[in-house]
């Protein structure tokens, strides 16, 4: 039973659902799990630190006006996590970064998206992931054709970044949306 079924979420009137990619659709822990033989008991610690730094570096760079694409941020965060965990194995960085390009979807993703699509919902991804990262993740998860749009903030030439830097905290157009990381049901769903 999916989370949508368990919670009995009422999606009546919802026409479109827009999902974040990492941590909502795609399990960022996949990369370290694939290399758990090499990482041993450090795999979970590395995963948590890598993700924490990935988010912190994104926020810090945005606050400082020093944009870097998500692939760069992901690599910088991994470097910090590897150093902190004292993991210095030949090729491990490259292997982990390659695995990040093909993260597994969470177990409930395919079924939930199929149900939403069957119910006539329009589906999209809006992510700070780089276009190549998103394309690879969607293809690897066999979700090609499920989403009407896969939008990277990189494709907007930093539009989302500039909006965050503006003094106005209100959206300039559209329906207000809410987002809470960690679950399909909690993704952005807009009524229009």
DSSP-derived secondary structure letter, 26? B
Q: Is 144 part of the annotated catalytic residue set?
A: no
Rounded distance, CA 136 to CA 100, Å? 9
**132 contacts 71 by C-beta, under 8 angstroms:** yes
Which stretches does DSSP call E strand in the chain? 14-19, 122-127, 149-152, 188-191
Could you tell me which residues are beta bridge partners of residue 190? 16
Residues 20, 41, 79, 83: which is the catalytic one? 20
Rounded distance, CA 13 to CA 192, Å? 8
The torsion region of residue 105 among left (phi > 0), alpha (psi -120 to 50) and beta comes to: beta
Q: Which residues are catalytic?
A: 20
């Amino acid at each position: 039973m999916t989370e949508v079924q368990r919670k009995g979420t009422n999606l009546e009137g919802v026409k479109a659902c827009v999902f974040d990619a990492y941590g909502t659709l795609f399990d960022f822990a996949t990369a370290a799990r694939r290399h758990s033989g090499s990482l041993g008991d450090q795999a979970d610690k590395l995963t948590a630190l890598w993700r924490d730094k990935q988010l912190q570096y994104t926020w810090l760079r945005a606050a400082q006006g020093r944009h870097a694409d998500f692939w760069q941020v992901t690599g910088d965060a991994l470097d910090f996590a590897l150093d902190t965990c004292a993991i210095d194995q030949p090729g491990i960085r490259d292997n982990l970064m390659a695995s990040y390009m093909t993260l597994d979807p969470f177990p409930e993703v395919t079924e939930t998206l199929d149900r939403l699509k069957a119910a006539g919902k329009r589906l999209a991804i809006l992510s700070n992931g780089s276009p190549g990262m998103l394309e690879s993740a969607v293809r690897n998860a066999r979700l090609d054709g499920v989403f009407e749009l896969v939008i990277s903030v990189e494709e907007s030439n930093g539009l989302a970044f500039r909006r965050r830097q503006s003094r106005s905290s209100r959206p300039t157009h559209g329906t207000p949306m809410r987002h809470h990381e960690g679950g399909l049901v909690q993704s952005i769903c807009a009524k229009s």
